[in-house]
């Protein structure tokens, strides 16, 4: 039987391409005027909105050999929705801009749209527009909006000595999945590979943390040590993580690490793209589930510069991903 040829982007017009993508995208609860005009209109009942943006570049953030369009759509949505949640806000809308090589199959873009809808639709988040451009590299740029619902934003700079540190989500699972794909052993653990291809995030935990009085919060996207360090630096404090706090993650990853000869601590403390939430709370606060207390906030001073400790000591683990230093 002859192979069925795929329609490529260069074989259709921009309007025809949009006609195949836009109907797949959800219209959210805050969408007053959806895609179709020069701009969309999104409600902002709080009179403020949270805004964030991220870019995914093929062969740097994802590989088509490893991930479907649907995987990339889900990943692109989650990493932006998690940033909104980390401010204590409820996500309301996404805008997506694509740079697309002409040889890309149109079906891949349709799958990307389905992946965006998978994550956004159940949350009532609309994908309300964006832009299409030709390009030599496949890029996916997403801007997300969120509603603070009358609350103050939870920033990185509010942690205070005496607070407890809590985490919601998993650590190291995406890094382990990437290692399995890199070693061509993806069938060894489908769940961990899925954690890399399309990570999940405890999005509802962000607003819950804000309502519970969280003093600071951050999306753990570049590794626990690196992002905890960002929060500590912004707050001018020391974050001391409990050495036993992530025992469940270490146990979950141990068998795969043994096969690959990998360091579980590097995955758990330095692995990125799990998109959990790290927050600090006053010691008197009731820490809401699914957050689990994983450490404490200490004062910084002449003998203790702002930063991160593990069990009261500096960690030898590489701190995590840097987009330019690697």
pLDDT above 60 for 4: no
Ramachandran category for residue 213: left, alpha or beta (phi over 0 → left; psi -120 to 50 → alpha): left
Domain count, the chain: 2
Shared domain for 184 and 298, answered yes or no, is: yes
Query: Residue 185 maps to which CATH number?
Result: 3.90.650.10
pLDDT given for residue 318 in this prediction: 84
Give 316's pLDDT tier (boundaries 50, 70, 90). confident
Cα distance between residue 224 and residue 203, in whole Å: 17
pLDDT above 60 for 326: no
pLDDT given for residue 178 in this prediction: 97
pLDDT above 70 for 74: yes
Give 1's pLDDT tier (boundaries 50, 70, 90). very low
Shared domain for 61 and 86, answered yes or no, is: yes
Please state the pTM of the whole predicted model: 0.95
With beta carbons less than 8 A apart as the criterion, state whether 123 and 80 touch. no
pLDDT given for residue 325 in this prediction: 57
pLDDT given for residue 5 in this prediction: 65
C-alpha to C-alpha distances, 145 to 31, 120, 195, 240, nearest whole angstrom: 11, 12, 24, 32
Shared domain for 62 and 140, answered yes or no, is: yes
Is residue 315 included in any domain, yes or no? no
pLDDT above 90 for 321: no
With beta carbons less than 8 A apart as the criterion, state whether 127 and 42 touch. no
Is residue 196 included in any domain, yes or no? yes
Task: Kindly give, in sequence order, each residue whose CB lies less than 8 Å from that of residue 224, ignoring residues fewer than 6 positions away.
Answer: 167, 171, 241, 246, 268, 269, 270, 271, 278, 320
Average confidence (pLDDT) over 63-80: 97
Among 147, 181, 201, residue at a domain's last position: 147
Among 115, 147, 179, residue at a domain's last position: 147
Letter string b/e over residues 245-256, b meaning 16 or more CB atoms within 10 A of that residue's CB: bbeebbebbeeb
pLDDT given for residue 305 in this prediction: 87
Cα distance between residue 174 and residue 167, in whole Å: 16
pLDDT given for residue 319 in this prediction: 78
Give 323's pLDDT tier (boundaries 50, 70, 90). low
pLDDT given for residue 264 in this prediction: 97
Handedness of CA 232, 237, 243, 245 (dihedral sign): negative
Average confidence (pLDDT) over 268-284: 97
* 93-97, 190-194, 311-315: range with lowest mean pLDDT: 311-315
pLDDT given for residue 2 in this prediction: 44
Query: The tokens of 251 are what?
Result: 């146990």
Query: Residue 131 maps to which CATH number?
Result: 3.30.1330.10
Q: 163: closest CA among 277, 284, 282, 245?
A: 282
Q: 261: closest CA among 183, 317, 146, 173?
A: 183
Q: Tens of pLDDT along 157-197?
A: 999 999 999 999 999 999 999 999 999 999 999 999 999 99
Query: The tokens of 146 are what?
Result: 């969120």
Give the structural domain span for 283: 164-310
Average confidence (pLDDT) over 254-275: 97
Cα distance between residue 35 and residue 89, in whole Å: 23
* 144-148, 164-168, 303-307: range with lowest mean pLDDT: 303-307
List the beta strands (DSSP E) in 18-112.
31-33, 41-42, 50-57, 90-100
For helices 173-182 and 247-260, give the axis angle rounded to 10 degrees.
10
Shared domain for 197 and 124, answered yes or no, is: no
Q: Give me the residue label for tokens 């590097």.
A: 266
């Amino acid at each position: 039987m002859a192979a069925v040829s795929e329609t490529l982007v260069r074989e259709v017009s921009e309007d025809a391409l949009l006609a195949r993508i836009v109907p797949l995208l959800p219209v959210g609860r805050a969408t007053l005027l959806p895609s179709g005009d020069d701009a969309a209109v999104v409600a902002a009942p709080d009179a403020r909105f949270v805004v964030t943006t991220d870019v995914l570049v093929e062969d740097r953030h994802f590989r088509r050999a490893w991930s479907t369009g649907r995987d990339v759509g889900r990943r692109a949505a989650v990493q932006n929705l998690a940033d909104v949640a980390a401010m204590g806000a409820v996500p309301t809308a996404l805008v997506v801009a694509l740079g697309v090589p002409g040889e890309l199959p149109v079906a891949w873009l349709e799958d990307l749209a389905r992946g965006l809808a998978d994550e956004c639709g159940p949350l009532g988040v609309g994908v309300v527009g964006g832009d299409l451009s030709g390009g030599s590299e496949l890029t996916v740029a997403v801007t997300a909006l969120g509603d603070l619902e009358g609350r103050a934003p939870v920033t990185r700079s509010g942690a205070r000595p005496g607070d407890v540190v809590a985490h919601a989500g998993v650590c190291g699972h995406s890094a382990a999945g990437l290692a399995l794909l890199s070693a061509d052993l993806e069938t060894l653990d489908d769940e961990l590979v899925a954690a890399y291809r399309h990570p999940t995030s405890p999005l509802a935990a962000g607003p819950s943390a804000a309502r519970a009085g969280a003093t600071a919060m951050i999306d753990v996207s570049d590794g626990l040590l690196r992002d905890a360090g960002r929060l500590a630096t912004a707050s001018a404090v020391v974050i001391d993580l409990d050495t036993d706090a992530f025992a469940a993650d270490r146990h979950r990853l141990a068998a795969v690490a043994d096969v690959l000869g990998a360091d579980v601590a590097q995955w758990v403390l330095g692995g990125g793209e799990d998109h959990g939430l790290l927050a600090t709370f006053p010691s008197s606060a009731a820490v809401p589930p699914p957050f689990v207390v994983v450490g404490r906030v200490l004062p910084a001073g002449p003998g203790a510069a702002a930063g991160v400790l593990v069990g009261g000591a500096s960690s030898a683990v590489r701190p995590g991903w840097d987009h330019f230093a690697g």
